[in-house]
């Protein structure tokens, strides 16, 4: 996707400076060829799985349409994402509605649309979904999102399957929730769902997830529930640090195949970050270079308003210059907003830069544009798709 030619950064065979000439900074830049490569690799590893792309990661319509062309479904959590999936050409039966606070309007829309699966996040949600289904007089396939109470190695804000999390049904309530679904006139229990965290780069976490999912599948089947789909979520980590630590879908396919050996079950996956994170960058422009307190601060025109992850999660993104040079020094790249947390990255190795120069924030294709905001009354960043 990115390469230097004669010291200039190129993107998919085009000079970055030429691409940026017609765009206001900051802006997102996405590569369709890079997306195709990752989508094809994932599908090769999981040829029979229900792959539902997590729309929370990126909602750019061009990318969504391309993923739909690859046969991927949609993991959605709101009415807006539901409509985005249909606009992208995703068939209703490939859509999974998730979320811990689904409104009646969202439920009604999903039921009328006849989405493939509605995941129940709490036992208390069963009667509400059942009531809407009854009002619509339509049978609804549902799954139970189980919170197994597992701690995994990731940022605390991303530990969505840990004890105490507000996501999912705790283990001691699962069978009760399953019975409630079985007793509801218009609900059919067809799936279960476990998602333990995001940005996981250790295969051991997925080994534990696979064992837990298989255990609950067999337990619910033994209790008489016709579980057909096991949704093992997403959480696949990418190589933000450039250290070669990225989850391989081929390894995950082997892990889940071992866990469900001999079982007639369909896997559902909800990848987001792994598919789109590496295919996008954030392009920012240097406003000024400040030397103070023995440090060098490179202030750019896009910070936590354009890319919230560093401020929210202390996430580290690598940053590249549009033009190579010497000498390379360590600098702090900071945003323009009135917050001390508005730091894109510290101790970044950069050549000398000046006002007007372009910098590129890597691996910004996931949870970048979707989490952008208008803090300090700054405009939302636009996006450009190449390839």
Name the residues annotated as catalytic: 338
The Cα–Cα gap between 208 and 211 comes to 5
231 in helix, strand or coil? strand
Please count the residues of the chain. Answer: 387
- Partner residues linked to 65 by β-bridges: none
In 279-338, DSSP assigns E strands to: 280-292, 295-300, 319-321, 329-334
- Can you say whether residue 85 is alpha, beta or left, with left for phi > 0 and alpha for psi between -120 and 50 degrees? alpha
Long-range contacts of 98-103 (CB under 8 A, 24+ apart): 98/145, 98/193, 98/270, 100/166, 100/167, 102/77, 102/129, 103/79
> What is the phi-psi region of residue 137: left when phi exceeds 0, alpha when psi lies from -120 to 50, beta otherwise?
left
Q: Which residue has the tokens 């067999």?
A: 218
Q: Which residues contact 371 (CB under 8 A, 6 or more apart)?
A: 307, 308, 309, 312
């Amino acid at each position: 996707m990115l390469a230097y030619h004669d010291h200039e950064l190129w993107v998919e065979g085009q000079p970055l400076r030429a691409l940026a000439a017609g765009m206001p900074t900051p802006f997102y830049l996405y590569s369709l060829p890079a997306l195709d490569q990752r989508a094809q690799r994932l599908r090769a590893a999981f040829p029979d799985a229900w792959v539902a792309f997590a729309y929370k990661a990126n909602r750019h319509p061009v990318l969504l349409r391309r993923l739909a062309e690859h046969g991927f479904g949609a993991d959605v959590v709101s009415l807006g994402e539901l409509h985005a999936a249909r606009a992208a050409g995703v068939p209703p039966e490939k859509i999974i509605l998730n979320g811990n606070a689904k409104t009646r309007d969202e439920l009604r829309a999903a039921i009328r649309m006849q989405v493939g699966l509605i995941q129940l996040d709490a036992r208390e949600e069963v009667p509400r979904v059942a009531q809407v289904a009854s009002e619509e007089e339509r049978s609804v396939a549902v799954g139970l999102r189980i919170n197994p109470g597992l701690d995994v190695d990731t940022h605390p804000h991303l530990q969505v399957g840990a004890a105490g999390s507000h996501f999912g049904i705790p283990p001691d309530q699962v069978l009760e929730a399953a019975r409630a679904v079985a007793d509801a006139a218009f609900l059919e229990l067809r799936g279960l769902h476990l998602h333990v965290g995001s940005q996981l780069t250790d295969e051991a976490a997925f080994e534990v997830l696979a064992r837990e999912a298989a255990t609950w599948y067999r337990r619910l089947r033994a209790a008489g529930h016709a579980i057909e789909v096991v949704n093992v979520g997403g959480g696949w980590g990418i190589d933000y640090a450039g250290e070669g630590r990225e989850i391989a879908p081929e390894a995950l396919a082997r892990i889940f195949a071992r866990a469900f050996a001999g079982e007639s079950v369909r896997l559902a996956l909800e990848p987001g970050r792994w598919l789109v994170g590496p295919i996008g960058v954030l392009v920012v422009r240097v406003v000024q270079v400040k030397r103070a307190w023995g440090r060098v601060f490179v202030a750019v025109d896009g910070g936590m308003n354009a890319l919230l992850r560093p401020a929210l999660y202390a996430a580290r993104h690598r940053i590249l210059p549009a033009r190579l040079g010497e000498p390379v020094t360590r600098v702090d790249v900071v945003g323009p907003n009135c917050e001390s947390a508005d730091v894109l990255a510290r101790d970044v190795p950069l050549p000398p830069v000046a006002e007007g120069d372009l910098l590129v924030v890597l691996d910004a294709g996931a949870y970048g544009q979707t989490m952008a905001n208008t803090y300090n009354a700054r405009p939302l960043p636009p996006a450009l798709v190449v390839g």
